[in-house]
Structure 1
Amino acid sequence: MPTHQHDVPARMIDVPALMQSDEAELDFLQRGSFAYFIDQTNPANGLVRDKNVPGWPASIAAVGMALLAYPVAVERALIGREAALRVVLTTLRFFWNSPQGPQADATGHHGFYYHFLDMESGRRAGTCELSTIDSAFLLAGALGAACYFNRPDADEQELCTLADALYRRADWQWAQNRGDTVTMGWKSGRGFLKHRWTGYNEALLLYILGLGSPTFPLPSASYQAWCAFYHWDHCYGVPYLQSGSLFTHQLSHVWIDFRGIDDQFMRAHGIDYFENSRRATLVQQRYAIDNPQRLIGYGQTCWGITASDGPGPATRVIDGVKRRFFDYVARGVPHGPDDGTIAPWAVIAALPFAPEIVLPTIAQFARTPALHCRYGYKTTFNATFRSKAMPHGWVSPWHFGIDQGPVLLMIENYRSGLPWRLMRACPYIGSGLRRAGFRGGWLDAAPGMP
């Protein structure tokens, strides 16, 4: 892997203006992503199916993304405001009234929720964990929706009250389990999971929310403990804070506008987290161009390696080379694993960071009819995994709520910045960022709790 020490520009130049064809494709993708939430939501409780398979459970992270998607859908005329309000209010009522406690079939405990819930009953699905990160996405969605549906009528005021109450109920100190950092979760009858959120990944949002809590706030030291495991790297001439799967550089940015604000770690390196995600995106493309494993299809407009489903588990000899293929795994760059599986949704979610390389890649996907479907593009594909039955490779037959949400929301952050503006108006976000040591830019004028 070629590595160099020289820096890259703080911002890319010559970002292309959106052409009419770009606008039409972005409209298509946002409509498709929102269609997933329409099709896969139970209108009785607002729960969103994790995967478009009959009988599959709901994902609370997908619910959180849907909650923030409804304001975007209203503004893009994909749904009326009253209809969107009904769904969001139904969802928040369900979570507020759902059973909390240590029982194995509860919906949540200490203000956090089980990763997967039964679509009908809303109770814990199977033996899944009470997930701190997925609860963070859920709560962030509730707070963002409350910043949009905040008119003085009774329903919108109830929505705001419920979102605030749900956030205040989450006991972040309990989730530390007497440690410096936050645990990944808890299981009824077994207690806390042994793993904790440390090092740079999607849990940046989790710590900001925990630090901003007015009821059970994380201590500031917890954020420093999280940062202590950061890994600064140099790949393809690009210095950046490394985290392999592309989604880890995106999900916290769905909610928080990190442009122009920085914490102690980023100040020491002269960039912000937004610029860091841009660099991670550039590394993805450069890895695909280099294509060290000589996988089929990789190139300048075919990249995007992240945690995703895949064609495996299987081992096959392709063009004389024995290759191992995975099912769901945290694929990543530059250190792998990598089996040739590309995730178009992760490319689209990188649009705000590097439109100069994302837009041409979207255009390439748009010229590939096999990727088109009701929900925009297929979730993943693998051109290397070929056989007589699949001469052009494997294409995923499934879609996931947590993949569709970032598509709709990050396109909107690029086009109008609406999700970022809503979250900037939430005082808890401002408070959490300040307690983590962030300063500068929009944060200096943002609201915060005393």
Structure 2
Amino acid sequence: MKKIVFSMAVASLFFTYSCKNNPLANQKTVQNKTIKNSITDEQLMDKVQRDALKYFWDYAEPNSFMGRERYHEDGVYPDNDKHVITTGGSGFGLATILVGIDRGFISREEAVRRLSHMMSFLAKADRYKGAWSHWINGETGKTVPFGKKDNGGDLVETAFLASGILMVREYFKDGSPDEKVLASKCDMLWKQIQWNGYTKGGEKVLYWHWSPEYQWEMNFPLEGYNECLITYILAASSPTYPIDAETYYKGWTRNGTYLTDKTKYGLPLYVKHNYAEEYGGPLFWGQYSYIGLDPTGLSDKLVKNYFEVNKNQALIDYKYCIENPKQWKGYGKNYWGLTAGYTRNNDGSTGYTAHMPTNDHGVITPTAALSSFPYTPKESMDFLRFIYTRKPEFIGSAGPYDATSINYNNWFTPRYLAIDQGTIAPMIENYRTGFLWKLFMNAPEIQQGLKKLSFQSSKYGIK
């Protein structure tokens, strides 16, 4: 399968595969009691956050404790990859663990021990100009190629991981002696990333990949708008290997040409979603960069309010699912949300694709609505309540399964992906308390980096 060029598309379309569904795929692999509809909203949010944490706590790769690329409750794994960990998904996992600590789901002391082990693993793992590869062997720390030429540094996955590392540092930097040591490890890893080394010799744009063997042959410049904004924010914020503001505006914003006056369902899109300008892209584009980056009232020279960009994208997706032009059974106000994840192939096997209105296969990915909570709280809560109280077959031991379809006779995959499960607890927590947003936005380097790029946020005193 070739990589979708409009984005990393979770960059996972390189690992797209089809494996015939295990017979368990339409059975409950984990016995779940039906939750009564009388459960409160707060209890439901606690429940799904606690469930999602299990992916990164109970099902972490056992040597590194990092987030596995995928976890299959049906026991069917392609190419024996149980020890393949994902860099970006592990970054979301760090944020999820912080939520678990702060909510009392796991003990602070045990979390510090585990996080310290993870940072030590990352310090020894293969790096390329300070960046990690997309996939790493959790037993050895060696790169697992994501594709033939994608066998070196992956700057976007590294950005997702670095965002989590910075939040861990901020959370523990004033703590106990052990916590301060952990924070120091995080600080060292963050400062070693050579962001400006990914400009292909000084071009005014960041590049996704670099390999010692293939150099820049992947040739994937990071241009907006997609999920990659956080890469530029971190690169500008680096105290050791920074980029300048010109790289951001010439590269990411395409010299300012990525703005649009298009609307859908009466809602302005504001920016041109790469190769998905009519409706906007898959919903992870409004989630991955915003685990720590708070879009509330956030602006730069071109975009006046990033929160409105993400809110409108989520609402357009919601309204599309209600309109339901392909007439999929089940779509509606309680069952919506299109984003990258597993899918049902025409032959009944399981594959992977970037679901969105222009690539709609009748499959709803639960993380789409759940990780949109800050933007669509009512619509997301309606989905959360529906799936837990009305569709217990869609719920496994680590929360909602990655892909579901009422249309295909309540089909689902008894499987999880780190990049999908990892955004649920953090984005719900940002809706509830702004916890992770506050950690990230108050980091001194981030404040300086945002100012360098002419971002403004009255909420955090950035102007």
1:349-390 Cα offsets, whole Å, 9 max, x none, are 000111122111222212212112111111111233x3xxxx
- Correspondence for 2:17: none
1:421-445 Cα offsets, whole Å, 9 max, x none, are 1112211211221122111312326
Amino acid in structure 2 at the alignment position of 1:297: G
1:267-319 Cα offsets, whole Å, 9 max, x none, are 3xxxx11121111111011111111122222112221011111011x269xxx
Rounded to whole Å, the distance in 1 between the matches of 2:176 and 2:43 is: 35
- Correspondence for 2:411: 394
1:160 and 2:188 correspond: no
1:329 and 2:353 correspond: yes
1:323-370 Cα offsets, whole Å, 9 max, x none, are xx982122223xx11111111111000001111221112222122121
2:396 equivalent among 373, 387, 390: 373
Matches within 5 A, 1:20-99: 21-53=40-72, 55-56=81-82, 57-98=84-125
- Correspondence for 1:205: 230
Rounded to whole Å, the distance in 1 between the matches of 2:95 and 2:319 is: 32
SS of the residue corresponding to residue 327 of structure 1 reads strand
Rounded to whole Å, the distance in 2 between the matches of 1:383 and 1:71 is: 34
Seen in structure 2, the aligned counterparts of structure 1 residues 294 and 231 have a Cα distance that, compared at 3 Å, is farther
1:236 equivalent among 238, 245, 265: 265
Rounded to whole Å, the distance in 1 between the matches of 2:300 and 2:392 is: 44
Offset of 1:152 from its aligned partner? 4.8
- Correspondence for 1:259: 296
Amino acid in structure 2 at the alignment position of 1:227: T
Q: Which moved more, 1:196-205 or 1:146-155?
A: 146-155
- Correspondence for 2:23: none
Amino acid in structure 1 at the alignment position of 2:219: K
8 Å Cα contact 2:55/2:398 also seen in 1: yes
Rounded to whole Å, the distance in 1 between the matches of 2:377 and 2:145 is: 41
Rounded to whole Å, the distance in 2 between the matches of 1:400 and 1:131 is: 18
1:298 and 2:343 correspond: no
1:189 and 2:213 correspond: yes
Seen in structure 2, the aligned counterparts of structure 1 residues 371 and 127 have a Cα distance that, compared at 3 Å, is closer
8 Å Cα contact 1:49/1:59 also seen in 2: yes
Offset of 1:393 from its aligned partner? 4.0
Amino acid in structure 1 at the alignment position of 2:98: P
Amino acid in structure 2 at the alignment position of 1:415: R
Rounded to whole Å, the distance in 2 between the matches of 1:87 and 1:214 is: 27
2:155 equivalent among 99, 122, 132: 132
Rounded to whole Å, the distance in 1 between the matches of 2:350 and 2:394 is: 20
- With structure 2 as the length reference, what TM-score do the two structures score? 0.82
8 Å Cα contact 1:259/1:441 also seen in 2: no
8 Å Cα contact 1:115/1:134 also seen in 2: yes
Offset of 1:248 from its aligned partner? 0.5
Amino acid in structure 2 at the alignment position of 1:209: L
Offset of 1:60 from its aligned partner? 0.9
Rounded to whole Å, the distance in 2 between the matches of 1:379 and 1:66 is: 16
Amino acid in structure 2 at the alignment position of 1:39: D
8 Å Cα contact 1:63/1:138 also seen in 2: yes
Offset of 1:397 from its aligned partner? 2.1
Rounded to whole Å, the distance in 2 between the matches of 1:131 and 1:349 is: 24
8 Å Cα contact 2:85/2:138 also seen in 1: yes
Rounded to whole Å, the distance in 1 between the matches of 2:168 and 2:428 is: 17
Aligned length: 399
Name structure 1 gaps, 5 residues minimum: 1-18, 99-106, 317-324, 387-391
SS of the residue corresponding to residue 65 of structure 2 reads coil
SS of the residue corresponding to residue 29 of structure 1 reads helix
- Correspondence for 1:11: none
1:359 and 2:381 correspond: yes
1:409 equivalent among 399, 411, 426: 426
Aligned identity (percent) is: 28
Offset of 1:68 from its aligned partner? 2.0
1:432 and 2:449 correspond: yes
1:123-158 Cα offsets, whole Å, 9 max, x none, are 111454321111001111111001111235332222
Rounded to whole Å, the distance in 2 between the matches of 1:126 and 1:263 is: 36
Q: Which moved more, 1:198-207 or 1:118-127?
A: 118-127
Runs of 4+ in 1 over 6 A off after TM superposition: none
- Correspondence for 2:313: 280
